């Protein structure tokens, strides 16, 4: 085992699974030294991951003064707004925020987005096909997996069509490493998003639309959400919704392009088979590599020799739990058929988390993937990967997981 874990190491980012497997052999949770000098407990066992995510002794509230102090600026204030969101809360605050949000994300409202998602998908596929005809190659992340979820969140938030290009550009910028763009561009994008969402909330208060966000703005139950909470919610929906779904679409496309028999089976098998591809990508690719950080409020004995002291930082590594061989035989193999009813169905994966913070957008994410993947591969049946899959760069860090680029021709 390396003396410390460096999440920025490109080799680890591309394939962290051997490391997690070795860690799991030491026990279902292990204390690890991180490259930044801090320590954390990484939970890699499936049962223990579920136990931690449903145990109130693991708090989601970040400790006061968490992270390095940064000079005050409009961008820092925007980032500060995001920090007020529901993933950073425990009961009873979390119960109130969650109840109000669940009321807006009903299955009926989410399913009603289907025709709009179909239209957005077809538009992007047409653009991609035009680019391939002109330039012979394109990046599937840049041209498809990134813009689709951002445009869908635009629908959820009720962002007018005319503003969608701005939303896409600002989101692209705030998600980019600071050194990848011109100086100040990332901060400027944070400030623009902050100003835009503030104005959007004012607009939705005056004239609500038929979008999910308008429901949140206008739900007066339990006093409703205040403007600060709405702002945090807009940021949370954008970030929880786009980067994860982008990784799901990118990882699924990569698996299908490198497993032609699975692609052929999905084409033949119809919706049930496509749904199995989506579930297997969620398990095998874990678009959210780890959950958000938890902190123990007291000493917790997780069993299997894992005793976590009070006030410890804990990360549930979903990518590791989803490949626990005790629950998923041959865990490193991409095998959609393990999710088919005919083969007895695998244990439920943990890609959307578990317990009180279970993903609120799981239905929307599944709907998007179930629409986007068949449409992409039907419209472009000869799509092939234009890079060595073992050389693709991956997103660094322990939070999100997926290829940064996916060159296709």
Q: Which stretch binds ligand HEM (CB under 6 A): 167-175, 182-190, 221-229, 237-245?
A: 237-245
Taking a C-beta distance cutoff of 8 angstroms, is the pair 48, 302 a contact? yes
The residues near 136 (Cβ < 8 Å, ≥ 6 apart) are 409
Residue nearer to ligand HEM on the CB measure, 232 or 306: 232
- Residue showing the smallest CB distance to ligand HEM in the complex: 361
Does position 95 bind ligand HEM by CB under 6 A?
Answer: no
The residue from 23, 75, 225, 240 that contacts ligand HEM (CB under 6 A) is 240
Instruction: State the minimum distance, in angstroms, from the CB of residue 382 to ligand HEM.
Output: 27
Does position 288 bind ligand HEM by CB under 6 A?
Answer: yes
Residues numbered 243-272 forming contacts with ligand HEM, rule: CB under 6 A: 244-245, 248
- What are the two backbone dihedrals, phi and then psi, of residue 394, each rounded to the nearest 5 degrees? -115, 155
Does position 154 bind ligand HEM by CB under 6 A?
Answer: no
Instruction: State the minimum distance, in angstroms, from the CB of residue 290 to ligand HEM.
Output: 8
Q: Which stretch binds ligand HEM (CB under 6 A): 43-51, 136-144, 192-200, 349-357?
A: 349-357
Instruction: State the minimum distance, in angstroms, from the CB of residue 29 to ligand HEM.
Output: 16
User: Exposed, middle or buried by CB within 10 Å (0-12, 13-18, 19+), for 166?
Assistant: middle
Taking a C-beta distance cutoff of 8 angstroms, is the pair 91, 59 a contact? no
Torsion of CA 34, 240, 288, 109, to 10 degrees: 160
Does position 128 bind ligand HEM by CB under 6 A?
Answer: no
Angle at Cα 120 formed by Cα 115 and Cα 125, nearest 5°? 125
Does position 351 bind ligand HEM by CB under 6 A?
Answer: yes
Binding pattern for the stretch 41-80 against ligand HEM, x by CB under 6 A and - elsewhere = ------------x---------------------------
- Name the 3-class secondary structure at 227: helix
Cis check for the bond before 92: say yes or no (omega within 30 of 0): yes
Taking a C-beta distance cutoff of 8 angstroms, is the pair 27, 51 a contact? no
Q: Which of 349, 371, 191, 403 is nearest to 274 (CA)?
A: 371
Strands 39-43 and 29-33: antiparallel
Instruction: State the minimum distance, in angstroms, from the CB of residue 401 to ligand HEM.
Output: 9
Residue nearer to ligand HEM on the CB measure, 53 or 230: 53
Instruction: Using the Cα atoms of residue 246, residue 248, residue 252 and residue 255 in order, give the sign of their dihedral.
Output: positive
Does position 353 bind ligand HEM by CB under 6 A?
Answer: yes
Q: In the complex, which residues of this chain contact ligand HEM (CB under 6 A)? A: 53, 86-87, 98, 153, 156, 236-237, 240-241, 244-245, 248, 287-288, 291-292, 318, 351-353, 357, 359-361, 364-365
């Amino acid at each position: 085992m390396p003396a410390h874990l460096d999440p920025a190491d490109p080799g680890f980012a591309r394939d962290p699974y051997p490391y997690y497997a070795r860690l799991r052999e030491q026990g279902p949770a292990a204390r690890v030294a991180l490259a930044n000098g801090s320590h954390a407990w990484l939970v890699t066992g499936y049962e223990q991951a579920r136990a931690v995510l449903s145990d109130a002794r693991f708090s989601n509230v970040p400790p006061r003064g968490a992270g390095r102090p940064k000079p005050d600026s409009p961008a820092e204030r925007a980032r500060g707004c995001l920090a007020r969101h529901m993933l950073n809360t425990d009961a009873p605050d979390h119960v109130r925020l969650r109840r109000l949000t669940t009321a807006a994300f009903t299955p009926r409202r989410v399913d009603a987005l289907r025709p709009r998602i179909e239209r957005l998908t077809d538009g992007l596929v047409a653009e991609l096909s035009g680019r391939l005809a002109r330039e012979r190659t394109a990046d599937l992340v840049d041209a498809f997996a990134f813009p689709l979820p951002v445009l869908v969140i635009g629908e959820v938030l009720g962002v007018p069509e005319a503003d969608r290009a701005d939303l896409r550009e600002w989101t692209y910028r705030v998600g980019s490493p600071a050194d990848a763009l011109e100086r100040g561009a990332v901060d400027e994008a944070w400030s623009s998003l902050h100003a835009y969402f503030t104005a959007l909330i004012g607009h939705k208060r005056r004239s609500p639309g038929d979008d999910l966000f308008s429901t949140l703005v206008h739900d007066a139950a339990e006093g409703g959400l205040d403007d600060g909470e709405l702002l945090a919610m807009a940021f949370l929906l954008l970030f929880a919704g786009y980067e994860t779904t982008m990784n799901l679409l990118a990882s699924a496309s990569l698996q299908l392009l490198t497993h032609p028999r699975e692609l052929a089976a999905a084409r033949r098998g119809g919706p049930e088979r496509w749904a199995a591809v989506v579930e297997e990508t969620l398990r095998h690719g874990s678009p959210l590599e780890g959950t958000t950080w938890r902190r123990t409020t007291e000493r917790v004995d997780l069993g299997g020799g894992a005793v976590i002291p009070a006030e410890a930082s804990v990360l549930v590594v979903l990518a590791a739990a989803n490949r626990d061989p005790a629950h998923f035989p041959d865990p490193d193999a991409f095998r959609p058929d393990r999710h088919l009813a005919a083969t007895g169905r695998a244990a439920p994966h943990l890609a959307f988390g578990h317990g009180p913070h279970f993903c609120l957008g799981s239905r929307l994410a599944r709907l998007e993937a179930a629409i986007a993947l068949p449409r992409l591969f039907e419209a472009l049946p000869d799509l092939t990967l234009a890079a060595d899959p073992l050389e693709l760069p991956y997103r660094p860090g322990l939070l999100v997981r997926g290829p940064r680029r996916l060159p296709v021709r």
